Amino acid sequence: MAKNKNELLSTADETADRMLPATSQYITKDKIRSLLPKKTNIAVTDEVIKIVQNMENDTGLPQSLLEEDFLGYMHLVTSNGTNSLIELANAIKYCNLKRNYTNKEAWSIVFPEKYNELVEANKQVDNFVSMYNNSKLVVAIDKEMLIPIHLQYAPYFHAAVKKQFELMNGTTNTKDRHGNADKVSPMVQHLAAKELANLTRQPEESKLDISITPSDAALSAQEEMNAQLKQLVQHQKRQLDAGVDIIDAQVIGLDFSDIGKDRE
């Protein structure tokens, strides 16, 4: 079973941490049907409801999180007619278990009867695990689970900012028995203001981005110098060809002091 069902499910990548939903999704046949396309022929049976309601008992993982995934990935069933709702539930359990266990351990938890059958028959289990891990449904769920947490829960961030602003101003959405808005203490207002400042503070620039490129003037000066050096080489060659002493030919006689200066 899972290491601790009350902990955040996490992978090696801290951006993929999962926040546990506060409540159940209250899944019923009608709720599932309402999320399926109108013309779908997928059956929502009592067996489906039973499997979904027992996902925590089967895996040790939080029921609320598995229910959220079941409803969130239901579009994968409709995009591939070979996938049933039961297959979706099993794939969701497997993909979440892989965050805490090896693929083989996760597969043995989701399919205990098949696992025991293979072990008792002294048959290879790894092949079954590999095939299932590379199935289209599992791969699709794995890809969607790679979405960074800050993108997946962006709407909740906005709600958190609004709540902190509300508390900072000393009120809440709840009312007392007289119908008046509940008030919060000065300490709560202080803490809310502090948290709001942290949530909305301007990001700090942690790196120095320097781009060094030659200016137009520097490029022009370099080109002019290259042209004069080319003329110098050609001039020395002509002198040497004409029989001028090599010492005399090496006298440059060029003035680079004005290179790069603006011309009138």
pLDDT above 60 (res 45): yes
Kindly report whether the global pTM for this prediction surpasses the value 0.85: no
Same domain, 190 and 100: no
pLDDT confidence tier of residue 152, bands split at 50, 70 and 90: low
For residue 196, give its domain range.
153-200
**Is 205 within a domain?**
no
From 5-14, 51-60, 73-82, 166-175, the region with the lowest mean pLDDT: 5-14
Report how far residue 228's alpha carbon sits from residue 154's, in angstroms, rounded to the nearest whole number: 62
Report how far residue 87's alpha carbon sits from residue 74's, in angstroms, rounded to the nearest whole number: 11
User: pLDDT higher for 79 or 173?
Assistant: 173
pLDDT digits (tens, 9 = 90+) for 91-119: 999 999 988 889 999 999 999 999 999 99
From 49-53, 170-174, 196-200, 234-238, the region with the lowest mean pLDDT: 170-174
Domain count, the chain: 3
**Is 159 within a domain?**
yes
Same domain, 165 and 42: no
